[in-house]
Each structure stands twice: as C-alpha cells, then as structure tokens.
Amino acid sequence: MSDLDAKTPRVFLARHGETEWTKTGQYTGSTDIELTEHGIKQVLSTGSQLVGPGKLIDPVRIAHVWVSPRIRARKTFDLLFRDNTNTNAKYPADSANGNGGQFLEGKVTVTEDIAEWDYGDYEGLLVGEIRAQRKKNGLDQETAWNIWRDGCEGGESAEQITQRLDRLISQIREIQQPCMNGQGPGDVVLVAHGLILRAFMKRWLGYSVDNPLPVMFSPGGIGMLSYKNRDIDEPGFYIGMSLPIQD
C-alpha cells in the first residue's frame, strides 16, 4: 500500500464470526443467533491483529461505523473494538448514541440498511431444501434457484437489496468525498453478514446484485474497498494489501 493509497478513505467490511447455522449452512437472516465460542475467537484474533492504534483499522481514522442490528453482528462489533481502542466498548444498541469508546462516540449507527438479506420463507433452510420447496410451489422448473437473481419468497428481492445498499453507499460517499487526500478521518466500517456484504461489494463497484462475480467471505473476516487514484468516481476493491509497518 503506497503512502498515497493509505490516505485514501477506505470501507472495511467485517463479517460476524461463526454461528451454529454458519456451520450447518442454514440461511440466517432475521434469526438472532449468538456466536459460537469458535466464532468469538475468530473475531478476537482478527481484531487483535488488524484493529487498534497504528494498525490497519485505526480508530482515529474512522469517520463512521454501521452495524447490523442482529446480535451476532453487534457482538462482533464489541469484540473488534472493545480491547483495541484502549476503552470499553458496548454493544451499540445498548446506548442511546451507539458508543464504541472515546474514538467512536457518536459515530456508530445500528441500521437495517446493512442487516442480512431477509430470507423470508427460506429462513433456517439449506439450499437444497429451498430449491425443493420452490419447485413444489411451481417455480424454477427449468432453471435452479439463484438468490442473487430470484430473491426470496416472503422476503427481499434483489431490487429491494439494491435500493437499501445504494442508499447506504450514497451516505458513505458523502462522508468520504471531502477526505480523498487524507483531510481528516474518512474510513468507515460495516459490521454485518456474509451475503449482504458481498452484495454491498457488487453495488460499490457498480455491478448488479445478480452479477455472477464469485466472492468468498470467511466468518470473522475483513474485506476492504476504496477508490482508485483518490477519485470518488473510481470505486475499487483490494485483492491484496500491505499492513502498516509497526515501529
């Protein structure tokens, strides 16, 4: 990462740690499910290496954090920032302003805009079960179900996902546009879920949600988006990054 790139505002995507349904592959949208012990360790490991003063995600450089209301995301936010900002973070929903410590006070928003895709009738099901159910309902007789294209019965469509993510992206770019050359804190963090964060990445790059771009995102992982040439009109993503040099 060049010195110039390091000054360009970034968007960090933080996926919550493992849950029991992550392990089984069940679609987990609105269900409030806790992290497993392994999931907690995943997030703590990520936070200890990447979050903190002088690290990749430096609290003094953060302009705003958006957190999904689901407990697995709120717990992940807590674990990422609690021990890495020299303060005691709280679940953002536990305080009026969403307090993540002195560096994040007043900068945390808990919002459905970054909640997981609403799976509706498919909540808790496996892919095979969903496809069988849809065929029984007279759908997908010739083409297999694809959530990116077909959405969910009783849940959200790709168009609805696009609308709420585009609204959030507009807010982010409004914050970051004045900071393209390092003028003040411009980094933002999204703490959310695997599918919605992959959809966010597609929309960030200007692709439709149903674009077949294959993307993987491990539980407890961190992704990073930014801008090429420090230009608000050239959003991009990092396929690799160098970490800050520790003195």
Interval 205-228 mean pLDDT: 96
Q: What is the pTM assigned to this prediction?
A: 0.91
**Taking phi first (over 0 means left), then psi (-120 to 50 degrees means alpha), and beta for anything else, what does residue 25 get?**
left
According to DSSP, residue 57 is labeled: B
List, in order of start, the domains of the chain with CATH numbers. Answer: 3-237 (3.40.50.1240)
pLDDT in tens, 111-141: 999 999 999 999 999 999 999 999 999 999 8
* Cα angle 230-234-235, degrees, rounded to a multiple of 5: 95
DSSP structural state of residue 182: S
Q: How confident is the model at residue 83 (pLDDT cuts 50, 70, 90)?
A: low
Most confident range (mean pLDDT) of 3-17, 78-92, 197-211 is: 197-211
Q: Measure the CA–CA gap between 191 and 73, rounded to whole angstroms.
A: 6
Average pLDDT over residues 198-219: 96
Q: What pLDDT score does 1 carry?
A: 47
Instruction: Specify the DSSP element, H or E, that contains 201.
Output: helix 194-204
Q: Is 72 annotated as a binding residue?
A: yes
Tell me how far apart the alpha carbons of residues 159 and 171 are, in angstroms, rounded to a whole number.
19
Per-residue model confidence (pLDDT) at position 214 = 93
Residue 149: in which H helix or E strand, if any? helix 147-150
Is 116 a known active-site residue? yes
165: part of which helix (H) or strand (E)? helix 158-176
Residue 34 annotated to the active site: no
Gap between the Cα atoms of 44 and 39, Å rounded: 9
Paired strand residues for 214: none
The pair of three-digit structure tokens given for residue 189, joined into one six-digit string = 């963090």
Beta strands in 97-197 (DSSP E): 108-110, 187-192
Mean pLDDT computed over 175-197: 95
Q: Can you tell me the distance from the alpha carbon of 68 to that of 77, in angstroms, rounded to the nearest whole number?
A: 9
144-148, 178-182, 207-211: segment of lowest average pLDDT: 178-182
Q: What are residue 147's DSSP bridge partners? A: none
In this predicted structure, the answer to whether residue 5 has a pLDDT above a threshold of 80 is no
CA distance 165 to 199: 8
Separation of alpha carbons 27 and 36, rounded Å: 16
206 sits in the region (left: phi over 0; alpha: psi -120 to 50; else beta) called: left
User: In terms of pLDDT, which residue wins out, 82 or 223?
Assistant: 223
Q: How confident is the model at residue 100 (pLDDT cuts 50, 70, 90)?
A: very low
240, two tokens: 């690799």
Quick: pLDDT tens for 22-50. Answer: 999 999 999 999 999 999 999 999 999 99
What pLDDT does residue 245 have? 80
- Angle at which helices 37-50 and 71-82 cross, to 10°: 40
- Percent above pLDDT 90 for the chain: 81
The residue-averaged pLDDT of 11-16 equals 98
pLDDT value of position 183 = 87
Which tokens sit at 169? 């992206």
State residue 116's pLDDT score.
98
Q: Which of 18, 64, 116, 156 is catalytic?
A: 116
